[in-house]
Chains A and B, each alone.
Chain A
């Protein structure tokens, strides 16, 4: 326990040294940083706001990569069937995907952790009852839960986030409870109880920090999963409004043209999604290795 890399005294530097032993993971981390930066700086980089209907024109629709628009701008990755510049649409789509992924991931972690820790700490009947509810949620595929939520709630980014949280919190509750139950029995917890510390301090000051390493790994992976899930939902046409396409919807729009030779409409958004999800997963994989005490020399 003493050499846990998350303790305050262990420097970020040491962590990074260990992390970057894997060159692939280091590269993935930089790619991810670049993606996040691009997504956030998006509005300053793109030639148009693809969500502003007044800025796009169907007269520019389905143009191949490198074409010029009526007012002289260049569509480096071509345009989609509504005349959106694909590069701009991908950058804006990434913004939505990342935002939805991170926000829903974070909310699901907070909700799942709170419930999981409470369940483990309370134990007994309460634990039992909570875990049966968790079982119920885990019994359904998360995709199905999200689909049902969106069918009831309708469209919009906030609704997608809610649907993703509802479909994923149970995972975290289960994981956190598992870890917390093990931690609960350890000596430092007995010591904390023996000192008659307040319950909140025991839970938040001692129990929670020791549950963090697995949680960080799972929540990172979960961001990638959320992004994929959101893309799948959009691909099916539920989720975000069609005038504000995220990556999934861009792929879905272009899918119809894949047999017609206008491959750019779905290939480029697909590649963007692939790179994003792959880099997040590589980072999460490496985090898991770094945090795994058994792999530590």
Chain B
């Protein structure tokens, strides 16, 4: 009996010490995000990041958001409407079947037809008029209108196996039954809310990743993720809190990987509802007018926001103040746009002029598990609004609830963070989040403020069809100017940094789009 006990204790010790010394072949990542295994379901950048592991694309974006060949080896823009692609030959899906043009056509056609999809990838395919195969390894895409950014758009289209996926559902992806792609990793196991395990695809056509097995541990709590890293349970922590950066940098055995990202946080303003859901008068009673429709009120809100304080006190300096929806230095950043000066008295005067000398009640909505310090930023914004006489409240909720409600325009002032790397410009955010909602044409799919301005819309539509990149940028800059400087229809806050905590012994360089990629991790040395 005693011997048996000793034996099992010894075995347990060995097991513990073995799992403690992280093997060079295995990578464990603590992440706050549950994946959608179906690469065409729920378009969030966290899901796009997961999809890159299992699925390939015709063209992909590298870690600096530049276009690089993927399943297409070459392409040509024959005329304004026609694009030809040569596909990579000899590529195998994880189930051993061959990749060819049928899979591309199947994937493009599947995207608009995923049932009950809360956020579709259709904005990446709806400019496509026809897609045809001229032979098994050549396809021709014709767009409805001239569309210079087609390559960037289809870099957001994951290619699934037509044979495996035909007739399958999103749930079949989650169970792993049809999670069949051509990517560097294969599906191995997914336990919702707990872990997502991938195994290296030994037949991958490109550079093979360094780690044989990657385990994503899903841990929504930031402090627990840090503790898991310090305790040696995980190698990398995604969504590392700025408040813990200093601590980690002082510790031996760990380092912080950080990089200014393409994600800008801003606040949507409900500019269209006649009575906004979370606006009350100064006594807390519902109002039958929506003060946010008045540009003077929006100007006052913009004048209340102290971005320097947010960057310094909440983000620990790891963010950059924003005055528009793309970070400085990016294509289509309009240098003529400025934030109004921070001026509480001026803001109060504007509110009085608009007919609200006593302010009004307004709730700031934000997720509490999506962006760096999202809940704290919302509270800080509310503080700043309180200073100009607005009775501000804050409500935060998990992203699973938040984004559904946001996109139904259920909020009055609400936070979002937009990654600009897909188009590498302001085009995607402007056309999805502020163009008048026109689902058939793929516009305004995220227009959660109900903004609608004909001049803005036409600038976006022209920009989208403009092949001359100088003119293209001018049009985007014009649209941004209308939206921010003239209409103040959104309040830019800051561009965040992507921050990861990493164990020494693992090399990791973040991507500019914040997508975590196990392919970029390698044993040090």
Contact of B396 among A54, A83, A242, A262 (CB under 8 A): A242
Contact of B394 among A54, A242, A258 (CB under 8 A): A242
Q: List, in ascending order, chain B residues with CB within 8 A of A258's CB.
A: 223
A59 touches B393 (CB 8 A): no
Q: List, in ascending order, chain A residues with CB within 8 A of B376's CB.
A: 81-82
Please tell me the number of chain A residues within 8 Å of chain B, measured between CB atoms.
25
A155 to B393, CA, bound (A): 12
Contact of B309 among A59, A242, A261 (CB under 8 A): A59
Q: List, in ascending order, chain B residues with CB within 8 A of A241's CB.
A: 393-395
B517 within 8 A of A: no
B246 touches A260 (CB 8 A): yes
Q: List, in ascending order, chain B residues with CB within 8 A of A242's CB.
A: 375, 379, 394-396
Contact of B241 among A54, A59, A61, A256 (CB under 8 A): A256
B230 within 8 A of A: yes
Interface SS of chain A: loop
B380 within 8 A of A: yes
A257 within 8 A of B: yes
Q: List, in ascending order, chain B residues with CB within 8 A of A83's CB.
A: 313, 383
Q: List, in ascending order, chain A residues with CB within 8 A of B11's CB.
A: none
Q: List, in ascending order, chain A residues with CB within 8 A of B134's CB.
A: none
- A-facing residues in B233-251 (Cβ within 8 Å): 241, 243-244, 246-247
Interface string of A139-167 (1 = CB under 8 A from B): 00000000000000001000000000000
- A-facing residues in B390-433 (Cβ within 8 Å): 392-396
B313 touches A59 (CB 8 A): yes
A62 within 8 A of B: yes
A33 within 8 A of B: no
B357 to chain A minimum Cβ distance, whole angstroms, is 16
Contact of B313 among A62, A243, A262 (CB under 8 A): A62
A58 touches B223 (CB 8 A): no
B227 within 8 A of A: yes
CB-based A-B contact count at 8 angstroms: 68
Q: List, in ascending order, chain A residues with CB within 8 A of B247's CB.
A: 259-261
B226 touches A259 (CB 8 A): yes
- B-facing residues in A81-95 (Cβ within 8 Å): 81-83
A56 touches B383 (CB 8 A): yes
B154 within 8 A of A: no
A57 within 8 A of B: yes
A57 touches B383 (CB 8 A): yes
A53 touches B223 (CB 8 A): no
Interface string of B302-322 (1 = CB under 8 A from A): 000000011001100000000
A40 within 8 A of B: no
Q: List, in ascending order, chain A residues with CB within 8 A of B71's CB.
A: none
Given contacts A58-B380, A59-B313, A243-B382, contact A255 B223 (CB under 8 A): yes
A78 to chain B minimum Cβ distance, whole angstroms, is 14
Given contacts A53-B383, A81-B376, A259-B247, contact A61 B223 (CB under 8 A): no
A277 to B75, CA, bound (A): 70
A52 to B386, CA, bound (A): 8
Given contacts A58-B310, A59-B309, contact A259 B227 (CB under 8 A): yes
8 contacts between A and B (CB under 8 A): A53-B386, A53-B392, A59-B309, A81-B243, A82-B383, A83-B383, A255-B223, A259-B227
What are the 3 closest A-B residue pairs judged by CB atoms, nearest first? Answer: A53-B386, A54-B386, A58-B313
Extra pairs beyond A256-B223, A259-B226 (9, CB < 8 Å): A54-B387, A58-B314, A58-B380, A81-B314, A82-B376, A242-B394, A243-B382, A255-B223, A259-B247
